[in-house]
């Protein structure tokens, strides 16, 4: 299979989400190949799922810290993009179910992580999200897992979310390179103060990052190269695109 690979570097939250929507639109109209994109966030940003509440976050604290907040076109829960690599995939469903596509994409990411020396597995079970999302502790993405999510020793290393546009699939994922995703709790609204300790405890018990696993810093560039090679090896993809840096 021939795909396009894009490394668009570090850009604003608004730019990153608009760019991913444009990738899905281009693919849907037949004007591009299936695409794997990797990118970062500058300034750092919190992204929330398309159905999540902005009211759960303190806008004044975010502004004072210089951190953006943006809504993703996919589902899932909140992520602080501060020490991680984000990927997106735009591709054709090709008659496959959302679950089959989720596993296909996550196998590519997982293969890349194994190339880094991280022995990850795909989770075999899922939270009951209808019930779980009613709990304030479910605000962060990394406190809950779906089936076929990427785990290391039963702790979540990559959080992913998916949306279907007709026959086109857009999937986002955040690969934790360090532990700064934990600082999400600092920007929750005052009404959630009583739940901060529980949320942090859940984050610590449910998530893990590449630096903690390997005992060394994993750079954005190293992670991006590993993810690309993982898709090549696990999914039989030949990338014909170029690595680019887009200024927002």
| Rounded distance between C-alpha atoms, residue 199 and residue 185, angstroms | 7
| Rounded distance between C-alpha atoms, residue 112 and residue 223, angstroms | 8
Strand partners, 10: 40
Per-residue burial over 17-38, b = 16 or more CB atoms within 10 Å of its CB, e = otherwise: bebbbebbebbbeeebbbbbbb
**pLDDT (tens digit per residue) in 106-134:** 999 999 999 999 999 998 765 444 544 45
The three-class DSSP label of residue 78 is strand
Cα 35 vs. chain centroid, distance in angstroms?
15
Query: For residue 79, which phi and psi values (nearest 5 degrees)?
Result: -135, 135
pLDDT the model gives residue 139 = 86
Determine which one of 120, 141, 185, 210 is catalytic.
141
> Taking the model in full, what pTM does it have?
0.92
pLDDT the model gives residue 143 = 84
CA atoms within 13 A on the CB side of 19: 27
CA atoms within 13 A on the CB side of 70: 20
Residue closest to 171 by CA, chosen among 100, 83, 219: 100
pLDDT the model gives residue 230 = 98
For the record, the structure tokens of 244 come out as: 């680019």
pLDDT the model gives residue 116 = 98
131's enclosing H/E stretch is: helix 129-132
| Rounded distance between C-alpha atoms, residue 231 and residue 226, angstroms | 9
pLDDT the model gives residue 246 = 61
Residues of the chain with pLDDT under 50: 127-129, 131-133, 248
pLDDT the model gives residue 194 = 64
For the record, the structure tokens of 47 come out as: 């992204």
CB-CB neighbours of 2 under 10 Å: 10
Across all residues in the chain, what is the average pLDDT? 90
pLDDT the model gives residue 118 = 98
**pLDDT (tens digit per residue) in 177-209:** 999 999 999 999 977 766 888 888 989 999 999
Confirm whether 141 is a catalytic residue: yes
């Amino acid at each position: 299979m021939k795909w396009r690979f894009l490394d668009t570097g570090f850009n604003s939250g608004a730019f990153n989400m608009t760019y991913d929507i444009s990738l899905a639109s281009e693919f849907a109209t037949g004007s591009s190949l299936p695409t794997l994109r990797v990118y970062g966030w500058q300034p750092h940003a919190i992204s929330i799922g398309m159905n999540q509440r902005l009211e759960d976050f303190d806008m004044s604290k975010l502004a004072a810290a210089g951190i953006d907040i943006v809504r993703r076109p996919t589902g899932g829960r909140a992520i602080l993009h501060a020490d991680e690599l984000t990927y997106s995939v735009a591709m054709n469903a090709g008659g496959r179910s959302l679950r089959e596509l989720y596993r296909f994409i996550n196998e590519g990411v997982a293969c890349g992580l194994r190339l880094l020396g991280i022995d990850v597995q795909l989770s075999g079970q899922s939270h009951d999200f209808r019930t779980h999302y009613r709990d304030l502790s479910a605000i962060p993405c990394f406190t809950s897992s779906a089936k076929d999510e990427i785990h290391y020793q039963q702790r979540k290393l990559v959080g992913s979310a998916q949306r279907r546009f007709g026959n086109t699939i857009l999937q986002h994922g955040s690969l934790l390179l360090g532990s700064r995703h934990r600082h999400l709790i600092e920007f929750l609204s005052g009404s959630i103060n009583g739940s901060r300790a529980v949320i942090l405890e859940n984050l610590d018990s449910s998530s893990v990052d590449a630096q903690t696993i390997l005992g060394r810093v994993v750079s954005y560039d190293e992670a991006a190269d590993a993810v690309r090679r993982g898709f090549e090896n696990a999914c039989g993809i030949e990338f014909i695109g170029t690595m680019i840096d887009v200024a927002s």
